[in-house]
Structure 1
Amino acid sequence: MKTNTDLTIRRSGERGHVDHGWLDSRFTFSFADYYDPAHMGFRSLRVINDDIVAPGGGFPMHPHRDMEIFSYLLEGQLAHQDSMGNSRVISPGQIQVMSAGSGVTHSEFNPSATEKTHLLQIWITPDRRGLQPRYTEWAPAPEQEAASKVLVISRDGRDHSATISQDAEIWRLKLQPGESSAHTLAPGRGLWLHLIRGRADFNGAGISPGDAVSSERAGEYTLTAGEEAVEALLFDLG
């Protein structure tokens, strides 16, 4: 981990890693058998797992409770089933959001016999325990498909975003080469940015795919794409 002025950078290669054959995963924070006391989460953000699921592989039915869980699909398809009766398949660019609340069981599988599935699995702690479990999905509206900055998840559901029970905003950034996007962090809040694709500059720090940058200093932050297109998720957390 390196610090650049008010930024803390967690490089992709510093993450935890496990390869089970059917699952190749990198853990930004402590998860399962990977334990790093310096990386237990950031504010309400508890998990960012970068998962590659082999054809036909997946997570069988298992329980969760009191966690806001969402998956952002990057490649392939993801088949979801749960104890609430939902049975869905999502495609790249879509997000599924599950509030585990008082308790839910679910499974996630790669339905393809030939193609891998690549997703980010993200967990955020809710602001209350024992909520009614629920499931929803987010997909970009036509005007959001290529937009440089889109709100995908929030507490109030504004601007076509999916809702979670936490004071959190999650923005999807998509930038063309040389393009920039700014975000203003209000006092008392924290920022976490996870770079998915491309190489970029974030307030003077050079970052590569899988790198993350965090800060708790109020002010403006700017992501600028390098010579290739960039995709990232930005978390603004209370």
Structure 2
Amino acid sequence: MTPPAPTARLIPSSSRHFWANEWLTSRQSFPGTGNFDLFGNAHGVLAMHNDDVVAPGEGLDAHRHRNMEIVTWVVDGAVAHRDSHGTAETLAAGTVGAMTAGRGVTHSERNANTTHRGASVRVVQMWVPPHTDDLEPAHRSADLTDALATGDPVVAVSGRSDAPETALPIRNRYAALHIARPHPGRPVELPGAPFGHLYVVRGAVTVEVAGTDAASFDTSAPGGALSQGDALRLTDAGPVTVTAEGIDAAEILYWEMHASFDVPRSV
């Protein structure tokens, strides 16, 4: 049987879904605001991937979730998290939070800077479903600042059996989130997978995907260059090599996924 051909689809920053109100600016890899079919628009098991900027003194008041794994990466500023199961903490920049909503949890997420003359907060929030419904709700967090300083990728959260002990657990056995701040000119490698989602949080990077032609997804520069806000959706691709370009700091998020909502591909 012939294996499926790898694909790589570029979603430029300018093509991301956009939503805003008086205090929130949201740029979304998938339409996540309003009456959308989250699972129908998903890639792999990634159902939401919002890059949000929240004004000082603002945020989401108490609201309820159920049966979803919610991962929050704090890019700038700090987020105040509080939930109905007793967690109350502030997540600073460089911190990842992972919440199992399970059978139901009410929580709030606000800019920890409560003065309207303070700084905005920028977060990337990502949702994947659990592999089992109605689990015990939980919230975990980890400051990755020191680990990321090496330039090497860090497995930030994972539900896979091969996850390192340092990764925060999520209840989806098919998914893992890798984060990296690659040093300029020094390539880093991310694992191939049936489904992958690479997002450039900041800076500019060159991307090479084993088994694909860079020209098939690059629309901006030779060699597969991506810049802040660009996303790359991969299917059945080999290892992904990422190299930071220029002197500005680069930061990337990469979801390695071994299932989609219709058919699990491997464990």
- Report the secondary structure of 1:13's partner residue: helix
Q: Which one scores higher on RCO, CA 8 angstroms, separation ≥ 6?
A: 2
Matching residue of 2:224: 205
- Report the secondary structure of 1:45's partner residue: coil
Letter in 2 for 1:205: G
Matching residue of 1:180: 187
- Report the secondary structure of 1:88's partner residue: strand
Change (3 A) 1:36 1:16: farther
For the residues of structure 1 that align with 2:36 and 2:62, how far apart are their CA atoms? Answer: 24
Change (3 A) 1:71 1:131: same
Matching residue of 1:128: 132
Letter in 1 for 2:51: D
Q: 156, 160, 174: which is aligned to 2:166? A: 160
Contact 2:206 2:242 in 1 (8 A): yes
Contact 1:72 1:119 in 2 (8 A): yes
- Say which is worse superposed, 190-199 or 146-155, in terms of deviation: 146-155
Contact 1:7 1:214 in 2 (8 A): yes
Q: 250, 253, 257: which is aligned to 1:233? A: 253
The 5 Å alignment of 1:111-126 reads 111-112=112-113, 113=115, 114-126=118-130
Matching residue of 2:217: none
Deviations 1:158-204 (A, max 9, x none): 24010001111111111122121112315xx2111011011111113
Structure 1 residue 31 displacement after superposition:
1.1
Determine if the alignment matches structure 1 residue 137 to structure 2 residue 137.
no
For the residues of structure 2 that align with 1:9 and 1:37, how far apart are their CA atoms? Answer: 20
For the residues of structure 1 that align with 2:38 and 2:152, how far apart are their CA atoms? Answer: 35
The 5 Å alignment of 1:68-147 reads 68-112=69-113, 113=115, 114-140=118-144, 142-147=146-151
- The count of residues paired between Structure 1 and Structure 2 equals 232
Deviations 1:91-119 (A, max 9, x none): 00001111001000000111211111110
Gaps in structure 2 of 5+ consecutive residues: 1-5, 209-222, 259-267
For the residues of structure 2 that align with 1:162 and 1:37, how far apart are their CA atoms? Answer: 24
Determine if the alignment matches structure 1 residue 8 to structure 2 residue 9.
yes
Gaps in structure 1 of 5+ consecutive residues: none
- Report the secondary structure of 2:14's partner residue: helix
Contact 1:28 1:39 in 2 (8 A): no
Change (3 A) 1:162 1:149: same
Letter in 2 for 1:132: E
For the residues of structure 2 that align with 1:81 and 1:143, how far apart are their CA atoms? Answer: 26
> Higher strand proportion, which one?
1
For the residues of structure 1 that align with 2:74 and 2:177, how far apart are their CA atoms? Answer: 15
Deviations 1:184-232 (A, max 9, x none): 315xx21110110111111131211111112112422111111133100
Change (3 A) 1:87 1:15: same
For the residues of structure 2 that align with 1:22 and 1:29, how far apart are their CA atoms? Answer: 21
Deviations 1:113-167 (A, max 9, x none): 1111110011111111111111111222745443321110111552401000111
For the residues of structure 2 that align with 1:141 and 1:20, how far apart are their CA atoms? Answer: 31
Determine if the alignment matches structure 1 residue 192 to structure 2 residue 212.
no
Deviations 1:43-83 (A, max 9, x none): 11001111100000000000000000011001111001100
- Report the secondary structure of 1:102's partner residue: coil
Contact 1:29 1:36 in 2 (8 A): no
For the residues of structure 2 that align with 1:106 and 1:97, how far apart are their CA atoms? Answer: 13
Taking structure 2 as the reference length, the TM-score comes to: 0.82
For the residues of structure 2 that align with 1:226 and 1:209, how far apart are their CA atoms? Answer: 12
Q: 190, 208, 224: which is aligned to 2:243? A: 224
Change (3 A) 1:91 1:37: closer
